Amino acid sequence: MIVARRFEGDVRVSYSRTEIVSKGSDVEHELVREAMRATGIPRGIDVMTLADVPSQGTGLGSSSTVTVGLLNALYAFQGIYRAPLALAEEASRIEIEVLGKPIGRQDQYASAVGGFNLIEFLRDGGGVRVEPVVMPSGCLKRLHRSLLMFYTGRQRQASTVLEEQRSAVQDGKAIASLEHMRDLAYSLRDELAAGNVDAVGRLLHENWELKKGLVEKISSPEVDRWYELGRRAGATGGKVLGAGGGGFLLLYAPPARHDAIRRELGELREVPIRLAARGTHITVMNDALD
């Protein structure tokens, strides 16, 4: 994310295309428009977004990451510091309340805080609690070495899948599965804290089977085939990241089985995966607005 002063005094936004408009409220990119509105910058800036992966429909929380990063950059441009949790909350407000997206808040908090955490959304207005998962020495490295991620080439709108999921919850059909999935998050935290890294595969598999049962669009025959190929080649578990329906397939497997899995999934593009120790942060800071 790059934000710079614009000599012409208008607004230029560069992403998959370029917009040049007279003021922020005219920007078509809704996340940029609302982030500018929230941070009080009406015009006079260049905004550029760059990404290593497609910015929508991949299940990596790209849209929320863009929103968090935009807010951080736009505030920093004015010489204003915002704490990570405050950025996450404001990004959630923009996406959910202002833009009306039927999404959760986990992506905003994950991208704002960084690290490997248990994120709890407390009932009755209790807020959000972010708890780092503390593991014995060497466990995080083992986890890194055991993960594989493949791009399926299928993109989807998370809002479509999540809207169906919300309907299933309102009908009462999915509540038991969602409660079970919540409990699996605590189980994963406890297993990692005990140094049982290989439990990740089993718990991911259990989570994925539950998630597929929520709504039909979460998986597809093609995704199911890729997942089973990975399992037969040695993966102990995995899932499609994000809301489901496409994007990236994450697998957990002993490193000795990785080459076999790569051969079986040769039609997919492997993308290296690394857990980021830091969330959103400013890497270069020049002069702020007067």
What is the set of active-site residues?
A: 107
CA angle 32, 150, 146 (to 5 degrees): 115
* CA distance linking residue 96 with residue 119, whole number of Å: 18
Q: Is 240 exposed, middle or buried (0-12, 13-18, 19+ CB in 10 A)?
A: buried
* CA distance linking residue 45 with residue 7, whole number of Å: 8
Tokens of 244: 């489901």
CB atoms inside a 10 Å sphere around CB 98: 13
List the end-to-end C-alpha distance of the chain, in Å, as a whole number: 21
Q: Is the dihedral of CA 163, 56, 149, 273 positive or negative?
A: negative
* CA distance linking residue 14 with residue 47, whole number of Å: 6
